[in-house]
Chains A and B, each alone.
Chain A
Amino acid sequence: MSIATDAAQPLVSMRGISKKYANVVALSGVDMTLRSGEIVALVGDNGAGKSTLIKVLSGAVHPDSGEIDIEGKPIRITKPSDAQHLGIAAIYQDLALFNNLDASENVFAGREMIVRVFGIPFLRRKKMAQDAHRLLKRLGIITMSSANFKTGGLSGGQRQMIAVARALGMNSRVLVLDEPTAALGVRETGILLDLLRSLREEGLAMMLVTHRIPDAMLLANRIVVLKGGEVQGELNPQSCHLDDVIELIVRGRASSRTNNGS
């Protein structure tokens, strides 16, 4: 009995999330769930509230009202480090990488391995380079030469992978991705989508914001459409058409009745 409910219980459940910036309503009473091994794509026009919603989950924005549960337990996220401790890692659109540092320094940023000599924390550079290399190799993109390379000189795809590797290195259960494919070419996008799929198979939960509806159709288990800070509807990419998603984004709830029935 309890096992059955546990399996059905979402990993993350957000209820009644509202946020106003001055007089502008960014989110109004949004409900959202996310299960392990699931990718949810948030789509919507500019100003629909997608970014605000994922920032609430990652701790970058504090909502005016609403509750967040993780595994059924109510939690409070007031800053990014709170979210990180709960296993929620955010990968922002600008990636928040250090272009002046190399790949391993980026992968381990904020949780460096140290050894104390006379009480002074020294970096374990070799160990970090090896572990970062192993992690990046598992993600299947980076060769040894680029692991000690300044991140600013890497391609958009490699940078995105480093950001993912950093999030995974934190033993995250939930990945929050803001426009992960926006800066990538076709080939790089394909590699990233494959990576996200394999992470889903490992049981990670992912919430991603995207403007590229075809990517969402290819990748997501559910597509949630936002407009004016409200959820307009939820679509199953397997059983709906690209046009349905776009119509819901543009026209909102009024047009969605026929699709929701399926």
Chain B
Amino acid sequence: MTIKPDTVSAGQEQETIGQEQIGSSANWVRVWVRGLFSYRETGIVIALVVLFVYLCFASESFRSQFNLTVVAEQMAAIGIMATGQTLVIIAGAFDVSQAAVTGLSAMVIGIMWGHAGLNPILAIMIGLATGALAGAVNGILASRFKLHPIIMTLATSVIFVSLTYVITHGIPVIGLPPQLLWAGSALLGPIPVSTLIMLVVVALMQVLLTRTRYGLRVRQVGGNVEAARLIGVNVPLVLLGVFVISGFLSALGATIELGRVGNAIPTLGSTLLFPIITASILGGTLLSGGEGSMVGTVAGAAVLTIINNALVVLQVDPYAQGVVQGGLVVAALIVDQFRRRQLTFRDLIRTEL
């Protein structure tokens, strides 16, 4: 196999570093940079760093500790739920019911404490179980009945929202005890507990995706479902799993939003769906399935939260903010398209046998 350095894509050059001593330092830098860009997270992480550094220089109110803490708090639920969305998309499906599950779980927690008089910890447990159960409903519909995931979860999200109002009659549960608010409002020094929970979730999800057999099954199902069946993968079980995880993480997002908002209101989390999907796409998740990264996803969540915050801090006309938010998704879709084209570009420069 002959490899001309100019015609090989980044992943291969990275390997050749150790094999051949590369002479000129300029060449070495070029190879290193290309190697860096072979990681799918690199682009979004660089964007995050550039954006953050720029805003810190540009705006005093942005770099204030208070504001940065607020940004970290706002990011937590989005980051957590976006890792669930990423897992679902990698498996080749989609879950647009996440925000509805968040509202339902939040109200279940509120009611279990406020009306049933349960211990707050128990109420949270039941709320998390509710999220997992809602995910299981999605998973069973998606896998057993092979329904189109977007339309199916759109339908279940209407059902979950409706159930939320059925159990609460639209009345918020107020005066929540500190235990229920802790996850979303407590601080460890300047760092919100919710952000730390998010970092733990991201780490666990990244390990699940890349190091465990289940994570490989998810990538197999999303990459080539027919081939997965041929090698004996239980496709319905894998799909059930991703939806249960997504539902559970939506409920975990609910416990954080409860603390951030302060009361259990039926519309809790209803604005989260758009940012979640944006974060997942910005993070480099291939919309056609099979590829994605949890680290990239959380970086995507950070970029989008920081941009939303900057719009406020820099006093952009509130009516115009939607232009930026929508534009960000369009940009993310273009990036997704670019990634796909890169894949075919790689096909074009196939190395000789």
Contacts and interface: CB of A to CB of B under 8 A. Distances in A.
B219 A98 contact: yes
A99 B216 contact: no
A100 B212 contact: no
B212 A153 contact: no
B15 A123 contact: no
B11 A98 contact: no
Contact of A153 (B213, B228, B346): B346
B220 interface: yes
Interface stretch (B42-50, B230-238, B324-332): B230-238
A99 B231 contact: no
Q: Which of A96, A125, A157, A188 has the most CB of B within 10 A?
A: A96
B11 A188 contact: no
Interface size of B as a range: 35 or more
Given A145-B15, A146-B12, A153 B222 contact: no
Contacts of A145: 3, 11-12, 15-16, 19
Given A145-B3, A148-B11, A100 B351 contact: no
Nearest to B214: A121
Interface in A113-138: 114, 120-123, 125
Given A100-B219, A153-B347, A109 B11 contact: no
Given A144-B15, A152-B343, A191-B353, A101 B226 contact: no
B223 A101 contact: yes
Contact of B353 (A98, A123, A141): A141
A80 interface: yes
Interface string A57-101: 000000000000000000000001100000000000000111111
B316 interface: no
A80 B1 CA distance: 34
A95 B212 CA distance: 25
Contacts of B12: 145-146, 149
B211 A153 contact: no
A189 to B, nearest CB: 10
Contact of B213 (A80, A112, A187): A112
A122 B291 contact: no
B60 interface: no
B224 interface: yes
B9 A153 contact: yes
Interface size of A as a range: 35 or more
Contact of B233 (A110, A122, A146): A110
Contact of A123 (B212, B230, B231): B212
Contacts of A101: 216, 219-220, 223
A98 B211 CA distance: 17
| Interface SS of B by simple majority | helix
B350 interface: yes
Contacts of A142: 1
A122 B216 CA distance: 10
A112 B353 contact: no
Given A98-B219, A110-B232, A153-B343, A143 B1 contact: yes
B15 to A, nearest CB: 4
Interface string B281-325: 000001000110000000000000000000000000000000000
B352 interface: yes
Nearest to A185: B353
Given A105-B216, A145-B3, A149-B11, A123 B211 contact: yes
Q: Which of A100, A110, A142 has the most CB of B within 10 A?
A: A100
Contacts of B353: 141, 155, 157-158, 185, 187-188, 191
B227 interface: yes
Contacts of B291: 100
A144 B290 CA distance: 23
Contacts of A123: 211-213, 215-216
Contacts of B351: 146, 154-155
A197 interface: no
A150 interface: yes
A122 B11 contact: no
Nearest to A84: B232
Nearest to B291: A100
A99 B224 contact: yes
Contacts of A120: 212
A125 B212 CA distance: 10
Nearest to B286: A100
Contacts of A191: 353
A109 B227 contact: yes
A96 B286 CA distance: 20
Contacts of A188: 353
A185 B351 CA distance: 13
Contacts of B226: 96
A152 B347 contact: yes
Contacts of A146: 1, 12, 351
18 contacts: A98-B223, A98-B228, A98-B290, A99-B223, A99-B290, A100-B219, A100-B223, A100-B224, A100-B290, A120-B212, A121-B214, A144-B15, A152-B346, A153-B9, A153-B347, A155-B350, A185-B353, A191-B353
The 5 residue pairs across chains A and B that have the minimum distance between CB atoms: A110-B231, A100-B290, A100-B223, A145-B15, A157-B353
Given A143-B1, A150-B343, 19 more contacts: A80-B230, A81-B232, A98-B223, A98-B228, A100-B219, A100-B222, A100-B286, A101-B219, A109-B227, A114-B213, A121-B214, A125-B211, A142-B1, A148-B11, A148-B15, A150-B11, A152-B343, A153-B343, A188-B353
